[in-house]
Structure 1
């Protein structure tokens, strides 16, 4: 009986799937390795401390790890596009500031008289000229003195790449004659007269535009003569290529009131 039992044991077939035990252990360890790598790919200080303490306790060591330099981890990631835009914006502001200074210097006599104001704002650089400097009352033909001053301005603008917008403004006193049925036509004609002079002086036409606003954008109340005189103006704006919202910085005095004319 004992001999038969031994023969039965010896005759059992060999287990050919024993390798699966080692394979499953290897897969488990590999899975654990990737889990650990994923966990430490984005470091969280609190989780890192708990994880390092757990590992230390599991392997019989001290549950502490080398402190992480949080100052390095919190450093902002450089943004090349943002850095380049900031640099371009800085250069644009410097260029517009220099342009404002050149225009202020050119128009200095009229600025001192309070008939011209040069400002640098979010749109660019604006030169506001009182209409009494440029035109006769109710007319859109430039005077000889104004042509000379505007030609000097054109000399600065013709080599500058920025677009130029000329805006005509009037007071609210109605006008109606054969040439100008309303203040709309008068304001547009005055803006167009300045644009034509700039083009004749060498400023490229594609950079120019003329707009007439009539009395719709007043600087002062039209109820008094002083306010109406201030509202009659032509604004020459050199438009910034990279507008930067900022507070308007006046670089010249506000034009005082002139004798009221339509």
Structure 2
């Protein structure tokens, strides 16, 4: 009796979509290399951001460090330590009169954070500066007028029930945008407007509202909730908003060159290198 022939199984084949995807990735990477090779980057930060973007595309980027951390990343560039007499260090003198510990000052070589409890600046649940808050900010104005870099004004709040007290409703948890974000933003805007009215240059200030989403303390304890209600003045030499304030090279553009953002492209018939003067 003849034996039945066993059917040979065909070897597994690579899916067609995978070949297409791989080819597309190679094409994108080749195009990226071409751009970097044929362009002059005018800012060291842009170089690192470009490299970091490529690494992130292939899953090789890591999480960003803490604002006070010292670990270097491909997307962080600092132009050196904070210049003395042009920073926030003068605000530390206000800590001596702070019996309630409503003020804090933390720093490292590149970052300074001056934190003010919202009780110093606002009435509970309010976004308009209190009279005491305006008096306090008058002491901050001279320092912010002389800083050598933009200062970020960041507003933070506690949990909703803590901030709104008797006005709190359960439905607030589902509102969009989150009420704590709006509260922190409006408070930040009040501080921002006051400083501008007192003569702080607009180029010296940035602002953002972060709501209840970056707590400093445990929101389950009264002490933690109090610590979370704060407005921070942050001077960070590594911040991206610094790049327009850094010394930039003077660029001489010829008819054979094309500039797009911080890239200088040369046409193929332009054999000369980019005439960039330091």
Q: Does 1:227 align with 2:216?
A: no
Matches within 5 A, 1:1-262: 89=80, 92-93=81-82, 95=84, 99-110=87-98, 112-121=99-108, 123-174=110-161, 175=164, 182-240=179-237
In structure 2, the residue matched to 1:56 is none
For residue 229 of structure 1, report the CA deviation from its aligned partner: 1.1
For residue 206 of structure 1, report the CA deviation from its aligned partner: 2.5
Q: CA separation in 2, counterparts of 1:148 and 1:94?
A: 28
Output the aligned Cα RMSD: 2.8
For residue 189 of structure 1, report the CA deviation from its aligned partner: 0.6
CA contact (8 A) 2:219 2:225 kept: yes
For residue 101 of structure 1, report the CA deviation from its aligned partner: 3.3
Unaligned 5+ residue runs, structure 2? Answer: 1-78, 170-176, 241-278
Q: CA separation in 1, counterparts of 2:216 and 2:182?
A: 20
Which secondary structure does the structure 2 equivalent of 1:228 belong to? helix
Q: CA separation in 1, counterparts of 2:157 and 2:230?
A: 7
Q: CA separation in 2, counterparts of 1:119 and 1:188?
A: 23
CA contact (8 A) 1:134 1:142 kept: yes
Deviations 1:168-187 (A, max 9, x none): 1111124469xx97111100
Which secondary structure does the structure 2 equivalent of 1:150 belong to? helix
Q: Does the C-alpha gap of structure 1 residues 186 and 122 become closer, same or farther in structure 2, counting only changes over 3 Å? A: farther
Larger Rg: 1
Unaligned 5+ residue runs, structure 1? Answer: 1-87, 244-262
For residue 140 of structure 1, report the CA deviation from its aligned partner: 0.8
Q: Does the C-alpha gap of structure 1 residues 239 and 223 become closer, same or farther in structure 2, counting only changes over 3 Å? A: same
Q: CA separation in 1, counterparts of 2:220 and 2:131?
A: 31
CA contact (8 A) 2:152 2:205 kept: yes
TM-score, normalising length: structure 2 = 0.49
Counting matched residue pairs gives: 151
* Structure number having the greater helix percentage: 1
Which secondary structure does the structure 2 equivalent of 1:141 belong to? coil
Q: Does the C-alpha gap of structure 1 residues 187 and 242 become closer, same or farther in structure 2, counting only changes over 3 Å? A: closer
Q: CA separation in 2, counterparts of 1:242 and 1:211?
A: 14
For residue 238 of structure 1, report the CA deviation from its aligned partner: 2.2
For residue 166 of structure 1, report the CA deviation from its aligned partner: 0.4
Which secondary structure does the structure 2 equivalent of 1:183 belong to? helix
Deviations 1:153-174 (A, max 9, x none): 1111112231011011111124
Q: Does the C-alpha gap of structure 1 residues 163 and 104 become closer, same or farther in structure 2, counting only changes over 3 Å? A: same
